[in-house]
C-alpha cells in the first residue's frame, strides 16, 4: 500500500466545503476569486502544523513533565532580542 502524500504534496483536486457568507466575502476581498484555493490550502497546512506541534508538546510533557514557565519566558526574551536581562535565566 502506498504512503499517502504529506500536506502540500500530491495532485491538486477539488473538494467542497461549506463556509458562512461573511467568511466567503472576507476571503474574496483578501484573495480575489482566483487566489482563494491557495489561501485556504495555506491556512489548512498551518493549522495541521499547529495541531501536530500541540501533540508533540503533550507527548514531551507526558515524558518529561510540564514546561518551566520561567525557562519559557527566558527563551521568548531571546527570540524577541531582549537578551540583556535573560543571560542567567536560560
Could you read off the pLDDT of 15-32 as tens digits, one per residue? Answer: 999 999 999 999 999 999
Q: What is the pLDDT of residue 33?
A: 82
Q: How many CB atoms lie within 10 A of CB 35?
A: 12
Q: How many CB atoms lie within 10 A of CB 54?
A: 10
Phi/psi of residue 6, nearest 5 degrees: -75, 160
Please tell me the pTM assigned to this model: 0.69
Spatial CB neighbours of 37, under 8 Å, sequence gap ≥ 6: 12
Amino acid at each position: 500500500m502506498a504512503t499517502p502524500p504529506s500536506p502540500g504534496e500530491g495532485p491538486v483536486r477539488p473538494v467542497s466545503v461549506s463556509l458562512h457568507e461573511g467568511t466567503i466575502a472576507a476571503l474574496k476581498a483578501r484573495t480575489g476569486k482566483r487566489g482563494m484555493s491557495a489561501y485556504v490550502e495555506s491556512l489548512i497546512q498551518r493549522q495541521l502544523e499547529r495541531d501536530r506541534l500541540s501533540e508533540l508538546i503533550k507527548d514531551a510533557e507526558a515524558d518529561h513533565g510540564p514546561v518551566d514557565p520561567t525557562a519559557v519566558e527566558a527563551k521568548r526574551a531571546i527570540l524577541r532580542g531582549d537578551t540583556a536581562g535573560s543571560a542567567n535565566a536560560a
